[in-house]
Amino acid sequence: MEGLVPPGGAPGEPDSIGVLALQGDFEMHLRALDRAGARGRKVRLPEDLQGLRGLVIPGGESTTMVKLARDYGLLQHLRRLGQEGLPMFGTCAGAILLGQGDSFPERLGLVPVTVRRNAYGRQRESFEKPIRLGIGGEEFTCIFIRAPKIDPPVPPEVQVLGTDGGDPILLRFRNFLLATFHPELTRDLRIHRLFLDLCR
């Protein structure tokens, strides 16, 4: 869609953060952003991207999410806005979309890491674990649900903010933040606040 507002947002919307709301746990991210003091907005169509300061791509079913994003004409706009510097935060399926890997599902390919779908196993292999992350404070309760894995080693320009058994689980690259777990399912807002810092 022509005329989309570039990164930086529209006047009067200093904390408007989009959450891709096609499928998955987008409501939990909206609640987390609200608790962190940010204004969240559901994104379903290209025009919903106008004026955003950042975008969250939530967990869910990555193949369904990509199909809907393609059907609604969003994929090319997401890729372009990410390349232009719009901060983006991908959790679980969102990390799959932002990273690279198999050609199915289609990826945005904005972060130079390989992200493997369902690498921990199926739903019954889901787990939670307290992990000390490089974001300050006490251990973070990381909730992994049919979680992907990011293949090490990562390129030197990618900052690893957390690992589990040698596997990177929280990364920052330029204007992108990737988590293979679900921080929105906890009351701990440190990772969402870290993302909001990227958006300012």
Q: Which long-range contacts does 131-138 make (Cβ < 8 Å, 24+ apart)?
A: 131/162, 131/163, 131/164, 131/169, 132/162, 133/161, 133/162, 133/170, 133/190, 133/191, 134/160, 134/161, 134/162, 134/170, 135/161, 135/162, 135/170, 135/190, 135/191, 135/194, 136/190, 137/190
Mean pLDDT of 125-148: 95
Domains with residue ranges and CATH for the chain: 16-199 (3.40.50.880)
pTM: 0.91
Given a cut of 60, whether residue 9 has pLDDT beyond it is: no
pLDDT value at residue 123: 66
Name the residues annotated as catalytic: 92, 182, 184
> In the numeric block, which tokens belong to residue 23?
């499928």
pLDDT tens per residue, range 140-158: 999 999 999 999 999 999 9
Q: What is the 3-state secondary structure (H, E, C) of 139-152?
A: CEEEEECCCCEECC
List CB contacts of 111: < 8 A, sequence separation 6 or more: 98, 99, 100, 158, 171, 173, 176, 178
3-state secondary structure of 132: coil
